[in-house]
A and B are shown apart, each in its own frame.
Chain A
Amino acid sequence: MTTQLTIGFLPLVDACLPILAREHGFAEDEGLSLRLLRDVSWATVLDRLLYGHSDAAHMIAPLAIATTLGRGRPAQPLSVPFVLGLNGNAITMRPDLAALVGDAGRLGDPARVGAKLAAVAQTRLAAGTPLRFGVVHRYSSHSYMLRYWLAACGIQPERDIEIVTIAPPFCADALEAGEVDAICVGEPWNSVAVERGVGEIVLVTAQIWRRGVEKVLALREPVLDERRPEVEALIRALARAGAHFVDSANWQANADILARPEYLDGDSTLIHRAIADRLLLARGGATVDYPDFMFQYREAANFPWVSQAEWLYTQMVRWDGVPHSPQEAARAAHVFRPDVYRSALIGTGEPLPGASSKVEGSLAQRTAVSTQQGAITLERNQFFDGKSFDPARLEEYLASQR
């Protein structure tokens, strides 16, 4: 007896785990029949989730929190029992800007690129044509990582530069038309811009925060409660898809699946590159390997750390201009549900951390952590500016970011 679950997604490489859970039969093994529902905007993915067209969705993590807190629409509590991946985004600039601020032939150093960019931003501001960056959504990790980097480099978003929203498939067009000077977007859309010669990849978000939370599996909280056994079965299927996704023996086959018309409808060569953490930075150049550009499985990457939700909340306070409230912080923290993840995977071979929260960005080297089951060694996970986020000192962190 199989139960059907419908999952909404946007055509991005990091929609891989639900797609592969379906295609490789991992969902079926768990008694689930997955139906995947593709859309072209996050607004529609969210509407379909809220109005029951889908049971779960591939979603930018901050949007799950914003929806729970009622930013931009009436509050509806969402739950995240599984993180679909960390990082995998890049900052791609128009070639003329990349030539001014980038490190030709390799990924730039974030602080050095930022310093050069600050000078360009001031010149452009003085000339009345401020630099303009495109991100995929106001409530996206792209927006928060980009703003974090800019602010730490002395560039104040909204004052020194403009940030606008552009749908991923139009990022290359916007660069080409000069509507934006740079974009922060997921794959394969940076590579599409590079292939067309309208952009060059200057940085990847993994350089800004080595282990930054990206897409999540989001459900309406009442749906999670009502369909708990199926959700836990889905988590087990997604974890198996994660192990399959990171195994290099499967890269080509998985890239071919993701490239199909019903999924990304894209170029499997570009998708394969992203899966392999390989980037072509500029047209005509050589590819560069950047390990952990996308981070889909190792180190319990799919575990929904409460501290990740809290970090996203601090950025929402920082950039929405809405004052901090301990009640909202608690509601945001409750969106991430490590308890559900644990209960789904207890007794399987998947490692489970001992804690549900950690000091984000605090590790400068490989560190073994205490676990509930299995063994986990976390590698360095720092922010590029060396700061860390201790959720126990959330207010101090907020004050330090003003």
Chain B
Amino acid sequence: MRIAVVDESAARASVIREGLATLPDCEIFVVTERRGLVARIGEIAPDIVLMDLGNPSRDMLEDYFAVSRALARPIAMFVDESDDEAIAASIDAGVSAYVVDGLAAHRIRSLLDVTVRRFNAFARLQAELDEARGALAERDAVDKAKRILMDSRQLTEPQAYAELRRTAMNQGKRIADIAAAVVTAHQLLGGGG
């Protein structure tokens, strides 16, 4: 079975590829380039196309599936009524599947199960990464704000931190938010940095 994974996120595409590689007799093709996508799909002649829901080329590709006479076998949105639950799960995970006519339903289902699990795992990783990045950025803002207070009001570092903390508590906000406000105000007032 020939599977095309169309995803502009190369990282996610490789996570999907790795998952699908565990299935028997699957040949997997990853397409991350937007340019020339339709021609590439034509060359691959896939039995199934997996594409992330956020992919801006979906309408173009569906149009190609609908009108192309170049394709020997018609491809449709994965649509067997009996598989509605599997489709719903894949849409929830953020992936759409297009399947050539006549592909056995049980094969599609096991393949989709793997894809959905991989998509969900990737989304979880991404969320954790975003959180970690956010935490780093916040720590950076607090450090900058402390430095500004230390310089402008001749405070020690513990005093500067206590000042941020007190203001945050008084205003019912997070220290990181107060720190960001201090940094912004400082920049607006021409303090640079």
Tell me if B130 counts as interface (CB < 8 A to partner A): no
Knowing A39-B54, A138-B67, say if A167 contacts B59 (CB, 8 Å): yes
Kindly state the separation between the CA atoms of A40 and B77 in the bound complex, as whole angstroms: 18
B27 to chain A, nearest CB (A): 25
Tell me if B66 counts as interface (CB < 8 A to partner A): yes
Kindly state the separation between the CA atoms of A138 and B60 in the bound complex, as whole angstroms: 9
Interface 9-residue window, one of A43-51, A96-104, A194-202, A261-269: A43-51
* Chain B residue contacts of A43, Cβ below 8 A: 58-59, 62, 96
Closest A residue by C-beta to B36: A179
Q: How large is the interface on B (under 10, 10 to 19, 20 to 34, 35 or more residues)?
A: 20 to 34
Tell me if B184 counts as interface (CB < 8 A to partner A): no
CB pair B66 A72 closer than 8 Å: yes
CB pair B66 A44 closer than 8 Å: no
Q: What is the number of contacts between chain A and chain B, taking CB atoms within 8 Å? A: 61
CB pair B56 A169 closer than 8 Å: yes
Name the residue among A44, A74, A138 with the largest chain B CB count within 10 angstroms.
A44
Tell me if A41 counts as interface (CB < 8 A to partner B): yes
Task: Scan A307-328; emit 1 where CB is below 8 A from any B CB, else 0.
Answer: 0000000000000000000000
Kindly state the separation between the CA atoms of A43 and B53 in the bound complex, as whole angstroms: 8
A110 to chain B, nearest CB (A): 25
A96 to chain B, nearest CB (A): 22
Closest A residue by C-beta to B65: A72
Interface residues of B in 55-74 (CB under 8 A from A): 55-60, 62-64, 66-67
* Chain B residue contacts of A72, Cβ below 8 A: 62, 66, 76-77
Tell me if A164 counts as interface (CB < 8 A to partner B): yes
Tell me if B15 counts as interface (CB < 8 A to partner A): no
A37 to chain B, nearest CB (A): 11
CB pair B55 A41 closer than 8 Å: yes
Kindly state the separation between the CA atoms of A39 and B52 in the bound complex, as whole angstroms: 12
B90 to chain A, nearest CB (A): 9
CB pair A170 B59 closer than 8 Å: no
Residue in contact with B92 in the complex, picked from A40, A51, A170, CB distance below 8 Å? A51
Tell me if A53 counts as interface (CB < 8 A to partner B): yes
CB pair B54 A74 closer than 8 Å: no
Name the residue among A43, A48, A51, A53 with the largest chain B CB count within 10 angstroms.
A43
* Chain B residue contacts of A366, Cβ below 8 A: none
Closest B residue by C-beta to A50: B91
Tell me if A136 counts as interface (CB < 8 A to partner B): yes
* Chain B residue contacts of A165, Cβ below 8 A: 59-60, 62-64
CB pair A44 B63 closer than 8 Å: no
CB pair A73 B77 closer than 8 Å: yes
Q: How large is the interface on A (under 10, 10 to 19, 20 to 34, 35 or more residues)?
A: 20 to 34
CB pair A167 B57 closer than 8 Å: yes
Knowing A44-B54, A73-B76, A138-B67, say if A167 contacts B60 (CB, 8 Å): yes
Kindly state the separation between the CA atoms of A48 and B87 in the bound complex, as whole angstroms: 12
Tell me if A137 counts as interface (CB < 8 A to partner B): yes
CB pair B91 A137 closer than 8 Å: no
Tell me if A193 counts as interface (CB < 8 A to partner B): no
CB pair A166 B79 closer than 8 Å: no
* Chain A residue contacts of B88, Cβ below 8 A: 51
Tell me if A26 counts as interface (CB < 8 A to partner B): no
Closest A residue by C-beta to B34: A170
* Chain A residue contacts of B79, Cβ below 8 A: 73-74
A293 to chain B, nearest CB (A): 24
Tell me if A297 counts as interface (CB < 8 A to partner B): no
Kindly state the separation between the CA atoms of A165 and B79 in the bound complex, as whole angstroms: 22
* Chain B residue contacts of A53, Cβ below 8 A: 91-92
* Chain A residue contacts of B63, Cβ below 8 A: 137-138, 164-165
CB pair A51 B59 closer than 8 Å: no
Tell me if A42 counts as interface (CB < 8 A to partner B): yes
B77 to chain A, nearest CB (A): 5
* Chain B residue contacts of A170, Cβ below 8 A: 34, 56
A141 to chain B, nearest CB (A): 14
Kindly state the separation between the CA atoms of A73 and B79 in the bound complex, as whole angstroms: 7
CB pair B96 A136 closer than 8 Å: no
* Chain B residue contacts of A164, Cβ below 8 A: 60, 63
Residue in contact with B91 in the complex, picked from A40, A51, A138, A167, CB distance below 8 Å? A51
CB pair B56 A41 closer than 8 Å: yes
Kindly state the separation between the CA atoms of A40 and B67 in the bound complex, as whole angstroms: 22
Tell me if B25 counts as interface (CB < 8 A to partner A): no
Knowing A51-B87, A165-B63, say if A44 contacts B76 (CB, 8 Å): no
* Chain A residue contacts of B54, Cβ below 8 A: 39-40, 44
Residue in contact with B81 in the complex, picked from A48, A74, A136, A166, CB distance below 8 Å? A74
Interface positions of B (Cβ within 8 A of A): 34, 53-60, 62-64, 66-67, 76-77, 79, 81, 87-88, 91-92, 96
18 contacts between A and B (CB under 8 A): A40-B54, A40-B55, A41-B55, A41-B58, A43-B58, A43-B59, A43-B96, A47-B96, A48-B53, A51-B88, A53-B92, A72-B77, A74-B79, A138-B62, A164-B60, A165-B63, A165-B64, A166-B60
A44-B53, A73-B77 known; 8 new pairs, CB 8 Å cut-off, are A39-B53, A44-B54, A48-B53, A72-B66, A72-B76, A73-B76, A74-B79, A167-B57
Interface positions of A (Cβ within 8 A of B): 39-44, 47-48, 51, 53, 72-74, 136-138, 164-167, 169-170
